[in-house]
Structure 1
Amino acid sequence: MTSETAAAPAQNLTDILDPARAAAFQAALGLAPDIAAGSELPPFFHQLYFWTPLPPQGLGRDGHPKVGGAGLIPDMGLPRRMWAGGRLRFEKPLRAGIAAEKSSVLEKAEQKAGRTGPLGLVRLRHEIRQEGRLCLTEWHDLVYREDPDSAAPTPMSPVARTDETQAREVPFSSTLLFRYSALTFNGHRIHYDLDYARDVEGYEGLVVHGPLLAQHLMLLAEELMGPLAEFSFRASSPLMHFEDATLCRKGRDLWVRGPDGRQCMSAVAVPME
């Protein structure tokens, strides 16, 4: 059974892309913090901007803005939110220290029956312009689910490929997750509230942000392939804060492999011609 909602009106935001915030993110990732006013921002660094702060009464139990009401995302009665994946098309690099405009629309919101219960599938489209020119288009896929059933069997995670031509080990920690949440103004409690992540949403630890994994893959792809024209990614299994990950690449394919060999994310990068 599938039900769809009509697209909501666009949400429009303006932000000056503060170079200090981007440099702080570089430092958090262990990179040289060399972004200054006028610098080209690395791909996906726009996640640091266009905050939508709300008072406490505007937040749901998970720390995200409440769904329904005046927001773009309707309330489908499913409490658990996950970033399932996305696709980006890059037209022109964004530059630090310059105002940019972001317009967002709801492209899809539907409910489907999944193997473990009902799912709410949401797709948002974002367009970001700077100095009147389109710089990137992003399609942002979210999944909403029911609370976990402790009596249900644990879903099997897909096994990651092992045929990579390049690989890089990346550690994670609760400190990195906290800093990324702060820099992106992401209040989702699964990333910093261990009791909530474990006792309410059923995770073994703090969950590494899906976009943080995608960020690592994009930086690796740009380093190995040059400037990107497109990048798409799909989350397949959560990574915990106490786990190291292996970033893998073969051709245009990239993926994140967990320490037990499971696939946490897969991606495809298309370089500029």
Structure 2
Amino acid sequence: MIDVEGWAPEPYETTETIKPGPAHALAGVLDTAPPERDLPPLWQWLYFLDRPAQKDLGPDGHPLAGRFLPPVPERRRMFAGGRCTFHRPLRLGESVTRRSEVASTALKHGRSGEMLFVTVRHTFVREGTEVAVEEQDLVYRSGDPANRPAPPSFEPPEADAPWTLRMTADPTLLFRFSALTYNAHRIHYDEAYATQVEKHPGLVVHGPLLAILCLELPRRAGRTVGELSFRARSPVYAGQPFAVTGSPEDGDLAVRAPGGVTAMSAAFG
């Protein structure tokens, strides 16, 4: 039973210089040129990282406790999506303050039981001026997974769009992205844990990685992104070929997985 009555974490701020090292490292992971000045959309996820002590981690690799981690027993966390607005780009070499707060919570009931939806809002400020606002939607479940999903397909998905980027995420790529984002969740690198404990059919591709890949399409086409939204709909697993697709006309973006599955939908403007 999920009970978060009285859970109201205080907002907090952290200030960091946007150094080029992490951005250059992610560019290497994505086989693309590193940014020269402006940080690409969503690459702020390489910065303002929590770095808990090893003794403070739970069996899944996530911290046992944290400022915005709800008091949910046997907690399992999933990335559901989010939204961003960029008034000005974050820039390499500049000092930025991020103010973080819980924007909303909602307890819902689904076929697999209770789910707690938590939206965390981050406001980025440079020299006293708000430059960007990001909201992340996270879902928390309690207890063991009820059912094991069907074995995934490995047939390349069909994709016919003006912008198309075909990829397959192998364990090496997942490990490098986990390292860059300081994400110790074992579903991304420990196949035995992912399959035997959380009942996935394989290693799970990070939702944030898929979102970043969606925004790579307009970035590589030279388009400026002022607003964006994204929603995770279905997991993608290591070894599955997938296609990131988009259209410059309507701003729609998507991750197409095998079997006609839309793993993520996104939009930019």
- Equivalent of residue 88 in structure 2, options 86, 92, 107: 92
SS at match of 2:235: coil
Partners of 1:64 and 1:224 lie apart in 2 by 36
Matches of residues 155-234 of structure 1 in structure 2 within 5 Å?
164-224=161-221, 226-234=223-231
Instruction: State the match for 1:128 in structure 2.
Output: 124
Instruction: State the match for 1:259 in structure 2.
Output: 258
Is the 2:149–2:200 contact (alpha carbons within 8 Å) kept by the matching residues of 1?
no
Aligned residues: 262
Structure 1 residues 188-228: Cα deviation after superposition (integer angstroms, max 9, x where no partner):
11111111111111111111110100001111133347111
Partners of 1:32 and 1:223 lie apart in 2 by 9
Instruction: State the match for 1:41 in structure 2.
Output: 39
Letter in 1 for 2:204: V
Is the 2:112–2:146 contact (alpha carbons within 8 Å) kept by the matching residues of 1?
no
SS at match of 2:254: strand
**Percent of aligned pairs with the same residue?**
39
Partners of 1:184 and 1:129 lie apart in 2 by 21
Deviation at 1:3, TM superposition (A): 6.8
Partners of 1:265 and 1:179 lie apart in 2 by 21
Which segments of 5 or more consecutive residues in structure 2 lack a partner in the other structure? none
Is the 2:84–2:133 contact (alpha carbons within 8 Å) kept by the matching residues of 1?
yes
Q: Say what the alpha-carbon RMSD is for the aligned residues.
A: 2.5
Deviation at 1:161, TM superposition (A): 9.2
SS at match of 1:86: strand
Deviation at 1:268, TM superposition (A): 1.2
Letter in 2 for 1:12: E
TM-score, normalization by structure 2: 0.89
Instruction: State the match for 2:113 in structure 1.
Output: 117
Partners of 2:173 and 2:159 lie apart in 1 by 27
Partners of 2:111 and 2:146 lie apart in 1 by 13
- Give the direction of change, closer, same or farther, for the CA distance of 1:112–1:154 in structure 2 (3 Å limit): farther
Letter in 2 for 1:100: V
Letter in 2 for 1:253: D
- Equivalent of residue 60 in structure 1, options 58, 76, 88: 58
Partners of 2:44 and 2:177 lie apart in 1 by 13
SS at match of 1:247: strand
- Give the direction of change, closer, same or farther, for the CA distance of 1:81–1:267 in structure 2 (3 Å limit): same
Instruction: State the match for 1:15 in structure 2.
Output: 16
TM-score, normalization by structure 1: 0.87
Instruction: State the match for 1:240 in structure 2.
Output: 237
Deviation at 1:31, TM superposition (A): 0.9
Partners of 2:158 and 2:133 lie apart in 1 by 29
Partners of 1:137 and 1:221 lie apart in 2 by 20
Matches of residues 68-87 of structure 1 in structure 2 within 5 Å?
71-87=67-83
Partners of 1:78 and 1:110 lie apart in 2 by 18
